[in-house]
Amino acid sequence: MAEQKEVRIHVPVLTRVEGEGALDLRVRDGTLDGLALRIFEPPRLFEKFLEGREYREVLDIVARICGICPVAYQMSAVHAIEAAFDVQPGEWVRALRRVLYCGEWIESHALHIHLLAAPDFLGAENVIELAARYPDEVRRGLRLQDLGNRIIRLLGGRSVHPVGVCAGGFFRAPTPLEVTALLAELRAALPDAEALVAWTASLELPASDQFFLSVVLQHPDEYPMNEGRLVSSDGLEIAIEDYGGHFQELHVPHSTALHSLHFPSGTGAEQIGQPYLVGPLARLNLNWDRLPPAVQDVVTRSGVQFPNRNMFHSIVARAVEIHYALLEAVRILEEYRLPESPAVAVTPRAGVGYGCTEAPRGVLWHRYAFDDNGGVVEATIVPPTSQNQARIEQDLRLALEAYGLGRPDEELRRFSETVIRNYDPCISCATHFLRLHVHRG
């Protein structure tokens, strides 16, 4: 008998993120007559929690919105605060915030690929089963996730709900010794990241070719994270302050989660809003030319091409961004120097500030109004999952019709979950999270 190899892995406990899902399908004469993705989430009230708070409290509060991507909420918020108070933190802070964001992209993407998406494409019920069949690949993914967490700890003090960011910069600068030690690990992980791109590209992913609108930040010189203008694949290019004039959140009768639509000519025009995509696939589609040649070469060798109209290739896009984030963190930390101060002085004043950054899941937009003392008068936060909700429903319609509506309900449910998970939405992370109701007539 062949020796059985024992596999031991550490799996983060993910009971759920926020919300539960149900999908209602109405099938008539073999075609889809109606579809509603119903997301049930209680009111979280973060925007109201912020009203009356001092600006210094904002970053700790918004970090609690998501345990997986707290850096994204802190980055959008701190940019908005600094814009309102006309604070220029300088190049050192700018560079280190980019490193911090690299850590979050790495840990979030690695978690999604290995714990959520890969089991779908390899016929596993969960990551435990996946690890039994692909132990080396799962270990590699968890090593990358842990490395992302350690980047966050370096600058944030801890990897979950980090506390190192402040308006004007950071509370503490890492020592050169700390940076040097982490740099060695980042360099050593680059072969893992390259191998991950090749592995995700080798998966037997479903074929799909859909038109969808992509919306991302775009920076003139670099792959977008913290800064840039909002652009879309239909030619929109606006400052982040103009977001509300072209994008609108709305309620739908079948879900408590907000949807977002894009209005190309402005929300005041008489036109129908369009669903749109934010996230790693959209970023690669519109920012491929901003990737360094080393990343482009790895992708080219994998055989997957971008721009890309197959939503199932989102898993490859996340692997590509892990490779990019590692290289970018190495590039910045190789030039690390200890600053005289990790933060500049901040003087609060009345005003309005906007912040927009690229969370792992896509564009994350914040707006804050402050009083003379820096107290929050009004807060608006538009997360990427709400922006993708309408696109998810659009995708489900197209994908299910192509898949075949005559299949058994259990097959439709599994396939629908796979489609939804392509977006890495902040709803239930359980492998079986979707209640499916099919009405056939």
Q: Which residue has the tokens 């609060």?
A: 348
| Domain-located, residue 2 | no
**Average pLDDT for 275-286:** 98
pLDDT of residue 269: 66
Domain that holds residue 96: 20-440
pLDDT tens-digit series, residues 21-80: 889 999 998 889 999 998 877 777 889 999 999 999 999 999 988 878 899 999 999 999
**Average pLDDT for 138-164:** 96
Q: How many domains are there within the chain?
A: 1
| Domain-located, residue 7 | no
How many CB atoms sit inside 10 A of residue 353's CB? 22
Least confident of 88-102, 189-203, 240-254, 364-378: 240-254
Rounded to 5°, angle at Cα 101 from 147 and 245: 150
| Domain-located, residue 90 | yes
| Domain-located, residue 167 | yes
**Average pLDDT for 194-199:** 98
Least confident of 23-37, 252-266, 427-441: 427-441
The DSSP H or E segment spanning 438 is strand 434-440
Q: Are 268 and 275 in contact (CB under 8 A)?
A: no
Assign residue 266 the CATH number of its domain: 1.10.645.10
**Average pLDDT for 247-270:** 85
Look at 361 and 21; give whichever has higher pLDDT.
361
Distance CA 120, CA 432 (A): 11
CA distances from 412 to 115, 264, 405 (A): 21, 34, 7
Q: Are 146 and 154 in contact (CB under 8 A)?
A: no
Q: Are 284 and 273 in contact (CB under 8 A)?
A: no
DSSP 8-state secondary structure symbol assigned to residue 112: I
Is the omega angle on the peptide bond into residue 307 within 30 degrees of 0, that is, cis? yes
| Domain-located, residue 1 | no
pLDDT range class, residue 9, cuts 50, 70, 90: very low
pLDDT of residue 315: 98
Residue 15 scores a pLDDT above 70: no
**Average pLDDT for 132-152:** 97
pLDDT range class, residue 351, cuts 50, 70, 90: very high
Cα dihedral value 107, 381, 342, 290, nearest 10? 60
Q: Please, how many CA atoms are within 13 Å of residue 298, restricted to the half-sphere of its CB?
A: 25
Residue 251 scores a pLDDT above 50: yes
Q: Both tokens of residue 35?
A: 């579809």
Least confident of 10-14, 103-107, 193-197: 10-14
DSSP 8-state secondary structure symbol assigned to residue 131: H
pLDDT of residue 441: 76
Please give the model's pTM, rounded to 2 decimal places: 0.93
**Average pLDDT for 242-254:** 92
Q: What is the 3-state secondary structure (H, E, C) of 57-109?
A: HHHHHHHHHCCCCHHHHHHHHHHHHHHHHCCCCCHHHHHHHHHHHHHHHHHHH
Mean pLDDT rounded to a whole number for the chain: 91
Rounded to 5°, angle at Cα 208 from 202 and 211: 130
φ and ψ at 306, to 5 degrees?
Answer: -130, 145
pLDDT of residue 433: 63
Tell me the H-state helices in 303-408: 314-333, 384-403
Look at 179 and 437; give whichever has higher pLDDT.
179
Measured in whole angstroms, the distance separating CA 135 from the mean position of its chain's CA atoms is 26
Cβ neighbours of residue 197 closer than 8 Å, sequence gap 6 or more? 298, 299, 302, 316, 319, 320, 323
The b/e string for 78-96 (b: 16+ C-beta within 10 A; e otherwise) is bbbbbbbbebebeebbebb
| Domain-located, residue 433 | yes
The b/e string for 201-232 (b: 16+ C-beta within 10 A; e otherwise) is beeebbebeeebbbbbbbeeebbbbbbbbbbb
| Domain-located, residue 55 | yes
| Domain-located, residue 5 | no
Look at 428 and 225; give whichever has higher pLDDT.
225
Residue 429 scores a pLDDT above 60: no
pLDDT of residue 275: 96
pLDDT range class, residue 281, cuts 50, 70, 90: very high
DSSP 8-state secondary structure symbol assigned to residue 148: H
Residues of the chain with pLDDT > 90, as a percent, come to 81
Measured in whole angstroms, the distance separating CA 138 from the mean position of its chain's CA atoms is 21
Distance CA 306, CA 386 (A): 25
Nearest to 45 by CA among 60, 59, 64, 22: 64
pLDDT tens-digit series, residues 282-300: 999 999 999 999 999 999 9
**Average pLDDT for 255-262:** 88
Cβ neighbours of residue 343 closer than 8 Å, sequence gap 6 or more? 89, 93, 166, 167, 168, 169, 170, 171
pLDDT range class, residue 19, cuts 50, 70, 90: low
